[in-house]
A = this chain, B = another copy of it.
Amino acid sequence: MIRLALDAMGGDNAPACVVRGADIACGANPNLEIVFYGDEARISPLIAKASHLGRASIIHTADAVSPDDTASQAIRRGKATSMCMAIASVAAGETDAVVSAGNTGALMAMSKLQLRPMTGVTRPAIAAFFPTVGELVCMLDLGANIECDAENLVQFAILGQAFHRSLTGNESPRLGLLNVGEEEQKGHDYLRVASRRLADPELGINYQGFVEGSDITNGQLDVVVTDGFSGNIALKMAEGISSMFTRLLRRSLNKSFLSRLGYLLARGALSEMRSHIDPRHYNGAVFLGLNGIAVKSHGGTDRIGFANAINVASELVDHGFLPDVSAAIARANTILERKDDDG
């Protein structure tokens, strides 16, 4: 059994979207055991209407983190919020992972406090997988660390490489550092420092150098490293464009009798493609570098998106990637510290 703690009160459509998403996920995976944290009076009726939540339980609390809270405000709200209690259950070993669609800053701050960063990790990062023309690409940081320096980016690379390797079995994932051009002189100074360190063969990173925004989806990369500001902009830009594309496609195919007929014939193929780029199917980002599994769902997602975030959490529990990532950080830090001493 995989036991998941869900923050039932996080996200724009909570708690309905959380409960309905859990219903979908449990319908597809009988090994899930769900614990909802939040307002019992609102959650209970939703569970009663669900088909696959017979085993789910509720831990009641009336408090919740607000989307407008800063991280420190959220922490001051105390340990009785649904988010904090859900994380605490992972920290106590009562559940295997937490999923929340709530305030990202608060979720990261509370997760750091309770799950603690792995030894040697200075800044946990948010990572997720995205579609490309080839295999999925793992990108980090997606918004936990707005200001970054070279050291942070090198650590994100170690985390991302180990995470990708642990999940896919690919021993040498191709890793790129996001910049505004491939040439050596481009971008921020700290990017050049990070790039030089990542190119050091001793670190064992299959480093492809600077990559541009257009390279993320070209299928030639397995891991893309960037700061949390750019990563978040790129992630949401991709969502916006996917949504634009779907709308334009629908509009085009509705234009004439012939195009509507064409759509009917090609419907299966087109829906497969739409599914391939549907942001809901990639919903669920992991907080990487913590001693526990915390998954962040998009706040505005629907039940299908939330069900996917639950699937991400259960796959992460299944894969048990934490020891691999932790070992990779320890190894890299030993090398980097020796180099610092030498230098």
Contact = CB atoms under 8 A, between A and B. Distances in A.
B187 A216 contact: no
A180 to B, nearest CB: 4
A265 B265 CA distance: 9
Interface residues of A, number: 68
Q: Which of A184, A245, A276 has the most CB of B within 10 A?
A: A245
A256 B273 contact: no
A183 interface: yes
B70 A185 contact: yes
B67 A183 contact: yes
Nearest to A73: B185
A206 interface: no
A146 B180 contact: yes
A178 B252 contact: no
A239 B213 contact: yes
A243 interface: yes
Contacts of A131: 244
Copies in the complex: 2
Contact of A252 (B240, B242, B256, B270): B270
Contacts of A232: 180, 212-213
B252 A262 contact: no
Contacts of A187: 146, 229
A162 B237 CA distance: 25
B233 A213 contact: yes
Contact of A268 (B212, B256, B261): B256
A147 interface: yes
A304 B276 CA distance: 29
Given A215-B240, A248-B273, A228 B147 contact: no
B269 A253 contact: yes
Interface string A122-137: 0000000001110000
A13 to B, nearest CB: 16
Given A217-B240, A241-B217, A244-B217, A146 B259 contact: no
A264 B261 CA distance: 10
A280 B255 CA distance: 24
Contacts of A228: 180
Given A146-B188, A233-B234, A237-B237, A258 B249 contact: no
A248 B134 CA distance: 10
A342 interface: no
A187 to B, nearest CB: 6
Nearest to A271: B252
Given A214-B237, A236-B214, A241-B241, A268 B259 contact: yes
B234 A214 contact: no
24 contacts: A68-B184, A104-B181, A133-B248, A180-B232, A188-B229, A212-B233, A213-B236, A217-B241, A218-B240, A229-B230, A230-B233, A233-B233, A234-B237, A244-B277, A248-B273, A252-B270, A253-B266, A253-B269, A258-B265, A258-B266, A258-B269, A259-B270, A262-B263, A262-B267
